[in-house]
Amino acid sequence: MIVCKFGGSSLSDAAQIRKACAILLENSERKIMVVSAPGKRRGIQGDTKFTDVLIFAAEEIFAGRGGAEELRVISTRLRETARDLCLPSSLAAALISEINLLAGELASKRARTRDALLAMGEISAARMVAAFLQKEGCNARFVDPREAGLLLARADGTTCILPETYDRLASLAHTDGIVVFPGFFGVSREGEIITFSRGGSDITGAVLAAAVNADLYENWTDRDSVFAADPELVRDAVPLAEMSFREMRVLSSHGFSIFHPDALEPVIQRGIPVHIRNTNNPSSEGTRLVAERTDIHREITGIAAADHYSSVRIQGLPTGGEQDDRSLVFSILADLGIRARVAHSGNDALCFIIRDPAFTQVIESDLRQQLRDIFGMAGILVNRELTALLLAGEGLSDTGAVLARAMAALEKEQIIVDMSVPRFSEISMLFLIHSGDKKKAVRALYREFFE
Ligand code: ASP
């Protein structure tokens, strides 16, 4: 059985929905279809993703401005899609009234309703797709994650999947016909809708693939494959036919946005292969994510770049007790709600990497104060607006040689490396540079390792 997930660009309008449904029906193994909310429509300059319009509506409502314009945009879009798919107008009308009802509840400040409102993007897409498939004579049905039991909880702003979810969803493997399942959200034990982070329909697809023990999880998007570097930064970057799960995990956490990093855990645990494919060009090879790669002919598989990093250096530590100092700094950071990673720790210096929107200037002064109180005269140096460059590959074995090549390539372009972590993970290495140098740096590394 194949679980296939279609992203927002694959469902952005009636024409794209038709394409996605044609792909689904081409292979009778495709039994579960997970859908995102409609994305930006091709050919409409400056168009907005459905979920973004819902987010703007929620903001307007919270600010007491009603969100009427956003709600109007949403209604028009739903009516147009239903019309273009030749579906009864009552379907769009029902969705619009559900959205208006939630918007009304949100106005009375029930914060949790925000998630329920955002989920309407996926619910609308799934209902339309299911109705369209039925109209085409196919045995398809919309399955509501609330009823199916996709159980989630939210702790410290993070959404986690409750373990019983997998057993609950397993029965979908035996459903007759096709299941159309909205992505991006589930339900708490108390029955409230909880969404994943942005792009979270990938996670829904992975959870379902794991729950029904699928043979394959297909992820349909709008690119022919994953590329070795962001095509916006490197034109003609090489396509990657195959990647290991851990390559994808580390690269997607640092800027490879094609696949949600949290979608990997469920498929890794069951060893379910993933195939990333292009709805607009189904004959292209795509990228396969596998547990073990068979064909490794480069040290580096991909170069990712992610912004909004900071580095913190604490120098001249008086105590000399490296382990204690580290734990102390970590507990201060944790109390301030900041997640950090040690880049380097020696007898008299500690270096941390922070990627956290919570690390504001106010938090930084607080941190400085607390560190001074503990370490006295230690020098504290913070650099902001940094970009993390990540080199990853299963073929990475001689870390020293790769580090030397990368540093030389960056130096040649006069790019200053603020910090480097040669063994960021078993298969990756990280450099922090100033964000203004990002494009130049990615290109320099790409030339060094791929050309
Ligand atoms: N609709 C959600 C978003 O735009 C989730 C998704 O598309 O996967 O982030």
Tell which of 166, 190, 222 closes a domain: 222
DSSP state letter for 215? S
- C-beta of residue 214 within 8 angstroms of C-beta of residue 2: yes
Ligand 1 centroid – CA 202 distance (Å): 9
The reply to whether 213 and 315 lie within a common domain is no
The reply to whether 34 and 150 lie within a common domain is yes
Residue 346 Cα distances to 218, 313, 324, 353, angstroms: 46, 11, 12, 15
Let me know if residue 265 belongs to a domain: no
Residue 39: CB within 6 Å of ligand 1? no
pLDDT of residue 86: 97
Is pLDDT of 26 > 90? yes
Let me know if residue 277 belongs to a domain: no
| Residue 33 belongs to domain with CATH number | 3.40.1160.10
Place of tokens 């660009």: 9
Let me know if residue 329 belongs to a domain: yes
Residue 48: CB within 6 Å of ligand 1? no
The reply to whether 318 and 208 lie within a common domain is no
The reply to whether 196 and 341 lie within a common domain is no
If one residue of 114, 120, 122, 279 were mutated to test the ligand 1 pocket, choosing by the most ligand atoms within 8 A of its CB, it would be: 122
Expressed as residue numbers, the domain containing 36 is 2-222
The reply to whether 218 and 306 lie within a common domain is no
| Residue 330 belongs to domain with CATH number | 3.30.2130.10
Let me know if residue 89 belongs to a domain: yes
The reply to whether 177 and 312 lie within a common domain is no
If one residue of 51, 52, 53, 203 were mutated to test the ligand 1 pocket, choosing by the most ligand atoms within 8 A of its CB, it would be: 51
- C-beta of residue 11 within 8 angstroms of C-beta of residue 39: yes
Measured between alpha carbons, how far is 311 from 422 in angstroms, rounded to an integer? 16
Residue 199: CB within 6 Å of ligand 1? yes
Q: How would residue 392 be classed by pLDDT, with cut points 50, 70 and 90?
A: very high
If one residue of 184, 195, 257 were mutated to test the ligand 1 pocket, choosing by the most ligand atoms within 8 A of its CB, it would be: 184
pLDDT tens digit string along 126-137? 999 999 999 999
Ligand 1 centroid – CA 200 distance (Å): 6
pLDDT tens digit string along 345-374? 776 778 899 998 889 999 999 988 888 888
Let me know if residue 253 belongs to a domain: no
Number of structural domains found in the chain: 2
pLDDT tens digit string along 185-206? 999 999 999 999 999 999 999 9
Who contacts 400 (Cβ-Cβ below 8 Å, separation ≥6)? 422
The reply to whether 308 and 206 lie within a common domain is no
Q: Which of 347, 285, 272 is nearest to 316 (CA)?
A: 347
pLDDT of residue 321: 56
The reply to whether 338 and 212 lie within a common domain is no
Question: What are the start-end ranges of the H helices in 212-302?
Answer: 245-252, 264-270
Is pLDDT of 322 > 90? no
Residue 260: CB within 6 Å of ligand 1? no
Within 10 angstroms of residue 407's Cβ, the number of other Cβ atoms is 15
Let me know if residue 182 belongs to a domain: yes
The reply to whether 163 and 34 lie within a common domain is yes
Let me know if residue 343 belongs to a domain: yes
Residue 388 Cα distances to 38, 258, 277, 304, 308, angstroms: 31, 18, 27, 8, 8
Q: How would residue 324 be classed by pLDDT, with cut points 50, 70 and 90?
A: confident
The reply to whether 151 and 17 lie within a common domain is yes
pLDDT tens digit string along 277-297? 999 999 999 999 999 998 898
Let me know if residue 294 belongs to a domain: no
pTM: 0.93
Tell which of 222, 242, 265 closes a domain: 222
Tell which of 202, 222, 242 closes a domain: 222
